């Protein structure tokens, strides 16, 4: 599944976290973190350090503006986190 479809589906399921600060704050809950090509090195380093072995890091080849557009936002987005699906017990 391509990135745009993944973001759209996760948004519909209310599982997206937009922005580097929010993504980092909720990093333990993520199954995937998408990082735009123009993200500052410090942010990328912080994201990489926070990831566990089960969380996928996807480097989006487009700009922050394009990633924001894919999320349906009228502003630049450096990172998008997709939360893990909740398991019903």
Does any domain span residue 71?
A: yes
- pTM given for the model: 0.89
Tokens of residue 84, six digits: 């893990």
pLDDT tens string 55-76: 999 999 999 999 999 999 999 9
DSSP 88: P
89 in a structural domain: no
pLDDT of amino acid 2: 87
Residue span of the structural domain in which 21 resides: 3-83
Instruction: For residue 12, give the CATH number of its domain.
Output: 3.30.1330.30
**How many CB atoms within 10 Å of residue 32?**
19
Per-residue pLDDT of 18-48, as tens digits, reads 999 999 999 999 999 999 998 999 999 999 9
3-state secondary structure of 1: coil
Q: Is position 88 within any domain?
A: no
Residue 35 lies in a domain: yes
Number of domains in the chain: 1
Length of the chain (residues): 89
Residue 34 near residue 10, CB atoms below 8 Å: no
Q: Has residue 27 been placed in a domain? A: yes
The reply to whether 20 falls in a domain is: yes
Higher per-residue pLDDT: 2 or 31 = 31
φ, ψ of residue 20 to 5 degrees: the values are -70, -40
pLDDT at 85: 83
């Amino acid at each position: 599944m391509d990135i745009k479809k993944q973001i759209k589906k996760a948004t519909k399921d209310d599982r997206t976290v937009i922005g580097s600060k929010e993504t980092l704050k909720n990093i333990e809950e993520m199954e995937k973190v998408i990082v735009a090509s123009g993200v500052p090195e410090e942010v990328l380093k912080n994201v990489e350090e926070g990831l566990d072995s089960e969380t996928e890091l996807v480097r989006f080849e487009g700009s922050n503006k394009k990633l924001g557009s894919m999320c349906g936002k009228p502003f630049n987005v450096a990172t998008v986190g997709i939360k893990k699906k909740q398991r019903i017990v």
